[in-house]
Amino acid sequence: MSVPAFGLGTFRLQGQVVIDSVRTGLELGYRAIDTAQIYENEAEVGQAIAASGIAREELFITSKIWIANFAKDRLIESLKESLQKLQTDYLDLTLIHWPSPEDQVPVAEFMGALLEAKRLGLTRQIGVSNFTIDLMQQAIAAVGAENIATNQIELHPYLQNRKVVEFARSQGIQITSYMTLAYGEVLKDPVIQQIAERLQATPAQVTLAWAMQSGYAVIPSSTKRANLQSNLGATTLTLSESDMALIAGLERGHRLTSPKGIAPQWD
């Protein structure tokens, strides 16, 4: 897999809160960190990473280009600004955060600029986020599927996004699941709770393990040390085929993220 299976998300975390979360995560053994320009926390994430003393090559840092920076003459400059904030010379993965609203900047333009950033050594890999099948097809036409490491999408037991997953897999594009715990909604699900009880695991561990066993990368976030520690347990948890099938049966098309004016026409 070109993207680590397990990482630390930083969505909605800012200031000292994100510094503490990243610092604690790194102490506990997390090595992949996911941020974005629009989170307005890249500088704090960079500060926590720098203070950790962990060698850069041991880390996998992802950030995402915001829609205001898609134009060819702006994308690379904005990425350089992100690198300054993160106190690093390169990103391991740079994603297009959302498609351009109403196609104001064509997919070919921003994907071309992103590929150029890769050629310049500003990022090791590139990818997309919140892309539908149609948008992935446009991105593939622009830069080739071999240059698209992942499509990061909302994916949890209540929204399994199977059409997008199937298409991405057919093209060799990895899926990264965000909001894998559906803001905690799935942790209250009786099916997941029963599996957790039987395995002497937490509902969060079961859900994250389900996603990883399904072949997805996950980036859960937390501000609590105990939860950060506990979530790591998902990496050593194995679910049976029947457990996997039970969770697969929870699909209900329950989408939590669809910002007005930005979200595409979902598959």
Residue 16 lies in a domain: yes
Residue 117 lies in a domain: yes
Tens-digit pLDDT profile for residues 127-146: 999 999 999 999 999 999 99
Ramachandran bin of 15, using left for φ above 0, alpha for ψ from -120 to 50, beta for the remaining angles: left
Residue 153 lies in a domain: yes
Residuewise pLDDT in 10s, the chain (267 residues): 589 999 999 999 999 999 999 999 999 999 999 999 999 999 999 999 999 999 999 999 999 999 999 999 999 999 999 999 999 999 999 999 999 999 999 999 999 999 999 999 999 999 999 999 999 999 999 999 999 999 999 999 999 999 999 999 999 999 999 999 999 999 999 999 999 999 999 999 999 999 999 999 999 999 999 999 999 999 999 999 999 999 999 999 999 999 999 999 999
Residue 60 lies in a domain: yes
Residue 91 lies in a domain: yes
Total domain count for the chain? Answer: 1
Residue 136 lies in a domain: yes
Residue 97 counted as an annotated binding residue = yes
Residue 208 lies in a domain: no
Domain residue limits at 40:
8-183+215-224
In DSSP notation, 186-206 reads: GGG-HHHHHHHHHHT--HHHH
Catalytic residues: 39
Q: Could you tell me the two tokens for 189?
A: 């699900």
CATH number of the CATH domain containing 148: 3.20.20.100
Cβ(129)–Cβ(64) below 8 Å: yes
Residue 197 lies in a domain: no
